[in-house]
Amino acid sequence: MRPKAVFFDIDGTVYDFRTGVCDSTKEAIARLKKNGHYAVLCTGRSMCSIFDRELLDIGFDGIVAGCGTYVRKGDRLLLNYEIPQQEIAKTLGILKDYGMDPILEGEHYLYYRREDYEKGRGDEYLRTLQQKIPDSIAEVEGHIGDLHVNKISVRCTSPEKTQEGLRLLEEDYQIMHVTDSLKELIPKGYNKATGMQVMCENMEVDKNDTYAFGDSGNDMDMLSYAGVGIAMGNAAREVRELADYVTASIREHGVYLGLKEFGLI
């Protein structure tokens, strides 16, 4: 059998915020690699946000991060698209005018605006980040002109202004609607599928020999690109409808059963 490349979303697919990575998923990925196939993380998280040792210790062959803006195979960096400084300044101005609080996400830092948190908005989220990755949280104000940003997460605090503000950003970003109050701004031309393509070209794996596991809206490009797109049982309805196959949920050993279904383990 030719080596296959299997791409895994993180949150809701291999990682559960309450229970972490289940033993069956660890076992399945270990067996997948032992059988000569590639295991790759493909996530909306920026590289800086992939800090869980339980994830990293699994030994993935590569990482597609920031919704395709960052691609790394082992220790080799294949792609790192950073939003230009002028565009960041323009974006921050729009976000401020329309009541949206950003977290700017990059390879080494997550940047926040001090004024947003001085007003008491989102302080619990910031405290969580400061506890988990204290050396990787920085203030925008101290890095103007030197912000290394792959994508932007936005918390919307003024619903009546949000839609108008987002319309102004559509020229430069693909806007992912995570929840009513949380959006992600992905630079135009990048998504999980474009990151997969970069990885596959480097690995010399044909796209027909790829599999992808996902559960949310930002996984849809990935599932469409893959030779076989597999939705978790806990996936959003539109993701399940798009997928070639629906496996069990994350807490019901969905990754293990999906890999077994296609003879990869």
- What are the structural domain ranges in the chain? 5-81+190-261, 85-187
**pTM of structure:** 0.94
* Bridge partner residues of 139 (DSSP): 112
Q: In what order do the strands lie in the sheet with 38-42?
A: 76-80, 70-73, 62-65, 38-42, 5-8, 210-214, 228-231, 245-246
Quick check: 149 and 89 in contact, CB under 8 A?
A: no
pLDDT at residue 120 in the model: 54
Q: Which residues are CB-contacts of 207 (< 8 A; sequence separation ≥ 6)? A: 196, 197, 200, 225, 226, 227
Strands 173-177 vs 182-187: parallel, antiparallel or unpaired:
antiparallel
- The whole-angstrom separation of Cα 13 and Cα 4 is 19
Scanning the structure block, which residue is given the tokens 């939003």? Answer: 83
- The single-letter DSSP state of residue 15 is B
- The whole-angstrom separation of Cα 227 and Cα 247 is 16
pLDDT at residue 129 in the model: 77
Quick check: 216 and 12 in contact, CB under 8 A?
A: yes
- Terminal-to-terminal C-alpha distance of the chain: 12
Question: Mean pLDDT in each 10-residue stretch from start to end of the chain (265 residues)?
Answer: 95 94 97 98 96 93 98 97 98 94 95 78 68 91 95 88 92 91 95 98 97 96 98 97 98 98 98
The full length of the chain comes to: 265
Superfamily of domain 5-81+190-261: HAD superfamily/HAD-like (3.40.50.1000)
pLDDT at residue 165 in the model: 93
Q: At what angle do helices 85-97 and 159-169 cross, to 10 degrees?
A: 160
Tell me phi and psi for residue 258, to 5 degrees. -65, -45
Residue 137's H or E segment, with its range, is strand 137-139
Quick check: 68 and 195 in contact, CB under 8 A?
A: yes
For the domain 85-187, what is the CATH code? 3.30.1240.10
pLDDT at residue 95 in the model: 94
pLDDT at residue 169 in the model: 96
pLDDT at residue 168 in the model: 95
pLDDT at residue 181 in the model: 84
Pick from 203, 186, 205, 195: which is nearest to 71 by CA? 195
pLDDT at residue 207 in the model: 96
